[in-house]
Amino acid sequence: MKLAARIGDVTPSLTLAIDTKAKAMKREGIDVLSFSVGEPDFDTPAHIRAAAEAALKQGKTRYGAVAGEPRLREAIAHKLQQDNALPYQPENIVVTNGGKHSLFNLLMTLIEPGDEVIIPAPYWVSYPEMVKLAGGTPVIVSTTVEGGFKISPEQLQQAITPRTRMFILNSPSNPTGMVYAPAEVRALAAIVAQHDIWVVSDEIYEKILYDGAEHLSIGAVSPELFEKTIVSSGFAKTYAMTGWRIGFLAAPLPIVKAVSTLQGHSTSNVCTFAQYGAIAAYEGSQDCVTEMVNAFAERRKVVLDYVNAIPGFACPPPNGAFYVFPNIGKLGVKSLDFCDALLEKKQVAAVPGIAFGADDCIRLSYAASLDAIHEGMQRLTDFVNSLL
């Protein structure tokens, strides 16, 4: 069958593939422990669900404004001003079908064939594929476990060419959980300031921080950087709202206008009554976020204790998100073979680092119950011992 060339070059999501395999095994009755999913295992907080239910009852079931419900755009702009010191107005916001959709919209709006997009590796699985879909060229800059999986200002400077149009920064990071310290963000900002490029700052994990780590949005570094930055984020991770499909971008007005045109001919508005849940998420108490982050912190500690005790694993302690990204290089196996064998032999699902541009690592998500973590990490330890 002849398919459009643009899709032929795109790699299917490996993270979803592993999850599908693990779920199929579970359906067969096999006791699979999954550390492969990138979503909180909590229910969406009750007040958020109640707000969406009320909106449904009130008949908020019709087409809405393409860029989002005005009150939600206001709540997002207010949050960006309060929490992130980013002086956005409601008209700078577009509400999208998740953070994934906001990134896709941005790339379709800004990237042309021949344009280069700098992506530090390990990267979130979809960035390079989205760049390719937009006709651009992903320029992958590898980082190391010793360097805390962070791109240095020198590396960024070296990667910039006359064709560079964009740099994608993701902090806290999926898959490594690394958080750039404010001084590190400022150092990267100093490089960006010297060039005519955009920074897309994916801040979807900004609230999930540990050990006193601080999140600084690169757009808040200076007014100049604010003009060069586009923020992409969403409600999925912070409020356990993965299935709601609500994200947003914040950008200068010409970009907002262009993205709204694109969205107007593709998905139109995000589900109207769901947006009322998102309004409640931002306008309501943030205690639910603290509770979930505290639970993640407890699990993170347990996972790290196991990981640090496994011979051959090296893993800088991540300060954000809900992933650890141990290096398995010393074991002499490729990440895909490792994860396949781990699933087959021990029924533990992890994601091979190759999906994130790091074939000597695996990603473990600790968005799982403490019991599952103890059992799964014990099985992983036994598995590694059997390889040595």
Q: How does strand 137-142 pair with strand 164-170? A: unpaired
Contact pattern for ligand PLP over residues 206 through 235, marking x by CB under 6 A = ----------------------------x-
In whole angstroms, how far apart are CA 316 and each of 143, 154, 164, 165, 352?
13, 22, 31, 31, 18
Name the residue nearer to ligand PLP (CB basis): 88 or 124.
124
Q: What are phi and psi of 180, to 5 degrees?
A: -70, 130
Binding status of residue 124 toward ligand PLP by CB under 6 A? yes
Least distance (Å) from ligand PLP to the CB of residue 211?
20
Q: How does strand 198-202 pair with strand 362-365? A: unpaired
DSSP 45: P
Q: Let me know: does 67 contact 272? Beta carbons within 8 Å.
A: no
Least distance (Å) from ligand PLP to the CB of residue 176?
11
How far apart, in whole angstroms, are the C-alpha atoms of residue 93 and residue 111?
A: 20
Least distance (Å) from ligand PLP to the CB of residue 2?
30
Listing DSSP states for 244-276 in one string gives: G--EEEE--HHHHHHHHHHHHTTT-S--HHHHH
Binding status of residue 36 toward ligand PLP by CB under 6 A? no
Binding status of residue 174 toward ligand PLP by CB under 6 A? yes
Binding status of residue 143 toward ligand PLP by CB under 6 A? no
Binding status of residue 320 toward ligand PLP by CB under 6 A? no
Name the residue number minimizing CB distance to ligand PLP.
Answer: 98
Contact pattern for ligand PLP over residues 189 through 208, marking x by CB under 6 A = -------------x-x----
Name the residue nearer to ligand PLP (CB basis): 84 or 310.
84
Least distance (Å) from ligand PLP to the CB of residue 323?
9
**Binding residue (CB under 6 A) for ligand PLP from 36, 44, 92, 242:** 242
Name the residue nearer to ligand PLP (CB basis): 131 or 204.
204
Quickly tell me which residue has 């594929």 as its tokens: 129
Least distance (Å) from ligand PLP to the CB of residue 341?
25
Name the residue nearer to ligand PLP (CB basis): 92 or 365.
365
**Helical H segments across 265-334, by residue range:** 272-283, 287-309
* 3-class secondary structure, 386: helix
Footprint of ligand PLP on 77-96 (CB under 6 A)? none
Helix %, strand %, coil % of the chain (to 5): 45, 15, 40
H or E segment at 93? strand 93-96
**Binding residue (CB under 6 A) for ligand PLP from 44, 68, 92, 100:** 100
**Binding residue (CB under 6 A) for ligand PLP from 68, 219, 247, 326:** 247
DSSP 44: P
Nearest to 125 by CA among 57, 36, 27, 185: 36
Tokens describing residue 43: 């229910």
How many angstroms separate the first and last alpha carbons of the chain? 46
- What number of other Cβ atoms are within 10 A of residue 139's Cβ? 19
Name the residue nearer to ligand PLP (CB basis): 303 or 367.
367
Least distance (Å) from ligand PLP to the CB of residue 276?
17
**Binding residue (CB under 6 A) for ligand PLP from 40, 45, 99, 219:** 99
Binding status of residue 107 toward ligand PLP by CB under 6 A? no
List contacts with ligand PLP (CB under 6 A). 38, 98-100, 124, 170, 174, 202, 204, 234, 236, 242, 247
